[in-house]
Amino acid sequence: MFELNLNFLNGAKMNEGNIEDFLNKRIQDSLHTGTSDEFSDEVMKRIKLSLEFAKEDKKTFKFAGMISIAVIAVMSVLSYFIGSSIVISSGDEESSGFGILKSVYTYLSDLAAEILSAIGISGTGDSLLYLIIITFIIILFIAADKLILGKRN
């Protein structure tokens, strides 16, 4: 008697299990969606292109670095040359091109001294002028750096 009842329950359980399996399989089939046929090739093409770009970027960055060093070197040499020429040109300032440079320098130096005294700081005009030149060089360098990095990105 017990056996008969168990068989009945087992049968119902088996049917329930079969329906579950059927539903699992059919849900799985319905959920599945495939990509287009050329998808993998497209991804591989994109990867190869990105690697080529990375290589090019590396070259550009190296080149940009070299240019930055060259610009800094030229600027340093030029600053040194201009600085020394101002001192040397004191004798024949009227006849040489350095004379104009000297008068511009004197004008700026006087202006800087006036600004300093106006804000109540004691010091020569030269020190403010040097500060302005250094700030100008820094700004120029940052701008050049951003320009190069901007192109890189």
Partner 1 sequence: MTDIEIINKVKSGELKYFKELVDRYKDKSFSLIVKILKNRNESEDCLQDVFMKIFNSVMSSSFEEKSKFSTYIYSIVYNSAVDYYKKYRKKNFNILSIDVTNSNYKTGDELTSYFDESMIDKGLYSQGIEFSPEKSLSQNEISVIINEYINNIPEHYSVILNMFYINDLSHDEISKILNLPIGTIKNRIFRAKNKLKELLLKRMTAEELLEYV
- The nearest distance, CB 149 to partner 1, in angstroms, is 20
Of the pair 51, 67, the CB lying nearest partner 1 is at 51
Among 121, 88, 117, which Cα is nearest to 105's? 88
Sequence-ordered list of residues with C-beta below 8 angstroms from that of 82, at least 6 positions apart, any chain: 101
Alpha-carbon distance of 13 to 34, in angstroms, equals 35
- The nearest distance, CB 18 to partner 1, in angstroms, is 4
Q: How many chain residues bind partner 1 (CB under 8 A)?
A: 29
Of the pair 25, 151, the CB lying nearest partner 1 is at 25
Dihedral, 108, 114, 116, 122 alpha carbons, nearest 10: 110
Residues 14-73 that bind partner 1 (CB under 8 A): 15, 18-24, 26-36, 39-40, 42-44, 46-48, 50-51
Of the pair 46, 62, the CB lying nearest partner 1 is at 46
Alpha-carbon distance of 65 to 78, in angstroms, equals 20
Residues that bind partner 1 (CB under 8 A): 15, 18-24, 26-36, 39-40, 42-44, 46-48, 50-51
